[in-house]
Amino acid sequence: METLEKKLGYTFQDKSLLENALTHSSCANESKGRLQSNERLEFLGDSILGMVVADHLYRNHPDLPEGDLTRTRAALVCEESLVVVAEELGLGAYLHLGRGEEAGGGRQRPSIRADAVEAVLAAVYLDGGIGSARKIIQKYILSREVAGLTKPRDHKTALQELVQRESGQVLRYRLVREEGPDHDKRFFVEVDLNGSPVGTGSGRSKKEAEQMAAKAAIERLEQPGI
């Protein structure tokens, strides 16, 4: 944990908060009540992250219209962005997972790693206040702001342009399932090309899930031999 604290640039007074932030529901369920999952911390961290990013963009970009502010914030706090943060922190190695989730490759699952980032931010906030959480958000997320302001890539448009190189191509996005409570819903979408699945993705909104599915489809279709 000391290595993770060094990467965060923050030392916890209450180490149990960090342990809680790294405990996935699969592990908590197997503990039969001894451990609490990080879902509540994730809920809090999502709001903290959104508020800090929105406050920063509002104060530092007075000329940006609401639409651009919204798109930039979305690009900075989306699952894809948080997975990058998790990779930089090496967060997957510290997660407490249940046996089934471990065997199923949970340490590399984007949604689990993104949720853990939010949970860690909430743990820092509860332990050291908003200033400490803001420093971490500044270091790992707002430092990529310039890339976000260049307008986040529209994967759906890019996929459409890719498949239209040949005539008669038909793309269709299909909502596969929804998981989680209303306040923390996660959507899973599949994109089909001419009736065959070419990509799947998940997100906290249908639009984000479609973008992630399109991104996966592009990566697959651009592989040599496909």
Summarize the annotated binding site for Mg(2+) as residue ranges.
42, 115, 118
Please state the domain count of the chain.
2
In a shared domain, residues 99 and 8: yes
Q: What is the pLDDT of residues 2-53, one digit of tens each?
A: 899 999 999 999 999 999 999 999 999 998 888 999 999 999 999 999 999 9
Rounded to an integer, what distance in angstroms lies between the CA atom of residue 138 and that of residue 9? 12
Tens digits of residue pLDDT in 81-100: 999 999 999 999 999 999 99
Q: Do residues 104 and 96 lie in contact, with contact meaning Cβ atoms separated by under 8 Å?
A: no
27 and 115 both lie in a single domain: yes
Given 118, 145, 208, 210, which residue is catalytic? 118
Answer yes or no: do 6 and 97 share one domain.
yes
Domain final residue, candidates 99, 124, 149: 149
Interval 187-220: pLDDT, tens: 999 999 999 999 999 988 898 899 999 999 998 9
CATH number at residue 161: 3.30.160.20
User: 173 and 117, same structural domain?
Assistant: no
Going by the annotation, the residues of the binding site are 42, 115, 118
pTM over 0.85: no
Catalytic (active site) residue 154: no
Question: Among 149, 166, 196, which residue terminates a domain?
Answer: 149
Token pair belonging to 223: 């592989």
Where in the sequence is the domain holding 210, given as residue range(s)?
Answer: 155-221
Does residue 130 sit in the same domain as residue 197? no
* Neighbour tally for 46: CB within 10 Å: 22
Asked whether residue 176 carries a pLDDT value surpassing 90, the answer given is: yes
Whether residue 128 is contained in a domain is answered as yes
Which residues make Cβ contacts (< 8 Å) with residue 165, sequence separation at least 6? none
Positive or negative torsion for Cα 19, 24, 25, 28: negative
Angle between helix 130-140 and helix 39-60 axes, rounded to 10 deg: 70
* Domain assignment of residue 19, yes or no: yes
Say whether 66 is catalytic. Answer: no
At residue 146, the pLDDT reads 57
Classify burial at 194, counting beta carbons within 10 Å of its beta carbon; exposed 0-12, middle 13-18, buried 19 or more: exposed
Residue 195 lies in a domain: yes
